[in-house]
Structure 1
Amino acid sequence: MLTLDAFEQCLKDCFPQGLNGKKTAVALSGGLDSVVLLHLLVCAGKRAGFVPEALHIHHGLSPRADDWADFCRNYCDMLGVGLETVKVCVEKNGLGIEAAARQKRYAEFAEKGFDVLALAHHRDDQIETFMLAVARGGGLRALAAMPAVRPLGENGIIWRPLLPFSRQDIWDYARKHGLPNIEDESNTDTAYLRNRFRHRILPELSAQIPHFGRHVLNNVRALQEDLALLEEVVVQDCRWVCGAGYFDTARWLTFSPRRKTHILRNFLKENGIPVPNQNALADIARVLTEAKTGRWNLQGFELHHYAGRLFVFASEQLAKPAFLKDGTISGNLKKILTEHRFVLKRHPFGLPEAMLEQDGILRTVAASDTLAVGGIHKNVKKILQGKRVLPFLRPIWPLVADSGNRPLALANCCADFQISVSDGILPVHPDFPILF
């Protein structure tokens, strides 16, 4: 039975210190479930001293989408709750319309910076989610259905406090408190697989199998326990593989094929990369095992295998630096360097300060560039290679030259020994590793 006391116990179980001081919101669609959840959270907040907000995502997929937004605004006004409505454009991108809308919705959730975002999924939703995963051939993560709590964005969490309660419990609460709601007409459309489960398949299974829903929920709980244990082991494995501060391929190779796949998946996830399908993961694992080098493009990221290590870069990091997109930059050296975020650091063998007051050029390294290092002229790319700079970073490394285009200093590394002075200046850019 859903009561305010029962809800507050769920809140206390999840947040022993309460929600005071946490930016908390309810994802409000206008449907009965989210209407009830917001009412419960507002009532709990009045007792505990916190004030929740509401967030409505306007997908524009229904002819009544504007009516839903108006309803949410009026309902929040009635409760005295702040509402933010966000309009989004849903693009399928190879997904079904439901999945695409859900993906867009969760992306917006993550951007809003809430500490806690409460979603109104309930016990019957959990059963449907499990059965959908079975029908679609989902693995352990899909079959474990919806966790009560999971991370959101960088620091927030998603919280599903109504999972212990049934759809009927929510209806009873709404009727008791006279709560309004707006019905999504698509909820009865059995063209959607979830609705076929809800209106046809699950009622028939429940009629034929005693306690069917309870059995499903027991399975979900067991699978969630298994998943939690697996994730603990994978995190420990990944810590060891990355224990030296980087992904060590030699360490990774000591694991079984299954564990290697899970370590890779976790490594990508921790670096913000959308995890590719099983075939793509298998290809990455094969190259790491058989080849000395490898490169993969993964939705805005690049993965590089080199010298026994696996590196992750955002694709724009491996493009020519933004300040050099148009080629070289000429002018007063001190001015152009500071304008483009270089820090002029003291160095035992740096450039004379007076030289930075002269005109010069800022550009990336060229194949013919040389610098005097310890009295010997060396090719700049060889210098970078000797410093173990990754091959794909060398062509975009910034270099400072005089007005005649003669190299003076390699940013973040060294100045030409023949013109350097004690306690001189070396330009350092924060987007590149420091090599001295």
Structure 2
Amino acid sequence: MLTWQVEKFIKEKELLQENERVLVGVSTGVDSMVLLHILETLQKKIGFDIGVAHVNHKLRTASDEEEIYLKNYCQKHNLPFYSTRWEDVPTTGVEEKARLFRYNFFKETMTTQNYQVLATAHHKDDQIETMIMKMVREGNLFSAKGIVADQSFGTNKKLVRPLLQITKEEILNYSKNEGIFYFEDQTNALLDVQRNRIRHQVIPFLKEENSQTLSHFQQLSEQINAAEKIITEEQKKWYQALVQEKYYAFEIDVDKYFTFSQTQQFFSYRNLQKKHGSIMI
């Protein structure tokens, strides 16, 4: 059933196509091991090729064991395996720096090994966590959309999330039913990480309030994403009407700006700030 749901989502969103080479980011946690298992199942049916990329972050005692396990798994399943180790672990900002290191490795591997698509195991629970974090940190409409099903990931490459309509509970049930072995990351329980606090202390209360909370946040994400596309197109038109760019500077038609509605002014000003930094009108 879960495989069918993922296949349906892949086809609806056109995430994976026949003859594409797909690099799967796998950590050996339950999410990515389930994603790998499902994509292996769909591989021949849809007609894409799979490779596996793994980053040993050297943050836990089990890190080396996880890397060896995944390497052996890929050999057994005839899957190309690419790995790297994060040798210079920083003392601050570890989560964000680890993410940057990981995605840089994925991008390099895609380029050198000729993969067009990167697939990661983000799911519905990740979505609500990310959206809440963005609102707490930034309060910005567009970043609050959270995770999207597919996005550009460099020149002629894309990043897809085939499990984005699947809940963590469904993933755990699937792993149990299919007998999928995975490693449990004990750091996911540490409450000194903001995402973990939101995961363990905030989201359970929201789920108790309404069992459809995860679906509602996913719907909100899709609506914000659609609204962003429309507003971005309008911002381009407003910018062309307001701004004359010169070699060393730019001129703003202030009189024209004040003929705009308050909503147009708001988004025009945000766009000007994005393009030219802090300005006063």
Please state which band the TM-score falls in when normalised by the shorter chain: 0.7 to 0.9
Contact 1:241-1:249 at 8 Å conserved across structures = no
* 1:150 Cα deviation after fit: 1.0
Aligned 8 A contact 1:252 1:260 in 2 = no
Q: 1 CA distance for matches of 2:195 and 2:210?
A: 20
Question: Which of 59, 62, 66 lines up with 1:61 in the alignment?
Answer: 59
Give the Cα–Cα distance (whole angstroms) in 2 for the partners of residues 8 and 221 of structure 1. 19
Which residue does the alignment assign to 2:150?
149
Pick from 18, 22, 26: which aligns with 2:24? 26
Bigger radius of gyration among the two: 1
Alignment of 1:201-280 (within 5 A): 201-209=202-210, 211-236=212-237, 249-250=250-251, 256=265, 258-263=267-272, 265=274
Residue 46 of structure 2, aligned match among 48, 52, 63: 48
Task: Please report the TM-score for the alignment, with normalisation by the length of structure 2.
Answer: 0.82
Q: Unaligned stretches of 5+ in structure 2?
A: 258-264
What secondary structure sits across from 1:250 in the alignment?
strand
Q: Which residue of 1 aligns with 2:117?
A: 116
Residue ranges of structure 1 left out of the alignment (5+ in a row): 269-280, 290-436
Instruction: Tell me, yes or no, if the aligned pair for 2:26 and 2:54 is still in contact at 8 Å.
Output: yes
Q: What does the per-residue CA deviation read over 1:191-221, in whole Å, with 9 as the maximum and x for residues that have no partner?
A: 2121122222221232244533333333323
Secondary structure in structure 2 of the residue aligned to 1:24 = strand
Structure 2 CA distance for partners of 1:43 and 1:144, relative to 1, 3 Å: same
2:119 paired with 1:140: no
Task: Tell me if the contact between 1:42 and 1:51 (Cα under 8 Å) persists in the aligned partners.
Answer: no
Would the alpha carbon gap of residues 247 and 31 (structure 1) be closer, same or farther in structure 2, given more than 3 Å must change? farther
SS, match of residue 99 in structure 2: helix
Give the C-alpha shift of residue 87 in structure 1.
2.2
Instruction: Write out aligned runs for 1:10-409 (5 A).
Output: 10-15=9-14, 18-89=16-87, 96-112=93-109, 113=111, 114-209=115-210, 211-236=212-237, 249-250=250-251, 256=265, 258-263=267-272, 265=274, 281-282=277-278, 285=279
**Hey, what's the Cα distance between the residues in 1 that align with 2:246 and 2:37?**
47
Deviations along 1:314-337, one digit per CA (max 9) or x if unpaired, are: xxxxxxxxxxxxxxxxxxxxxxxx
2:2 matched residue in structure 1: 2
Name the SS of the counterpart of 2:55 in structure 1: strand
Are the aligned partners of 1:42 and 1:79 in contact in 2 as well (CA < 8 Å)?
A: no
Do 2:244 and 2:252's aligned partners in 1 also have CA atoms closer than 8 Å?
A: no
> Corresponding residue for 1:432?
none
Distance 1:66 1:235, change over 3 A: farther
Partner of residue 430, structure 1: none
Amino acid at match of 2:150: V
**Residues 239, 107 of structure 1: alpha-carbon distance in 2 compared, 3 angstrom cutoff:** farther
- Percent identity of equivalent pairs: 26
Contact 2:124 2:215 in 1 (8 A): no
Structure with greater contact order relative to length (CA < 8 Å, sep ≥ 6): 2
C-alpha distance 246-78 of structure 1, shift in aligned 2 (>3 A) = farther
CA contact (8 A) 2:21 2:48 kept: no
Q: 2:120 touches 2:162 (CA, 8 Å); kept in 1?
A: yes
- Secondary structure of the residue that 1:139 maps to in structure 2? coil
Please say if residues 237 and 263 of structure 1, whose CA atoms lie closer than 8 Å, have aligned partners that are also in contact: no
Paired with 2:103 and 2:17, the residues of 1 have a C-alpha distance of 22
Give the alignment's TM-score, normalised by structure 1: 0.55
Pairs aligned (count): 269
Contact 1:57 1:88 in 2 (8 A): yes
Partner Cα distance (1:77, 1:262) in 2:
50
Higher strand share: 1
Give, in angstroms, the shift of residue 244 of structure 1.
Answer: 8.8
Tell me the alpha carbon deviations over residues 248-299 of structure 1, each in whole angstroms, 9 at most, x when there is no partner.
723687654642442553x58xxxxxxxxxxxx21xx35xx8xxxxxxxxxx
Shift in Å, 1:180: 0.9
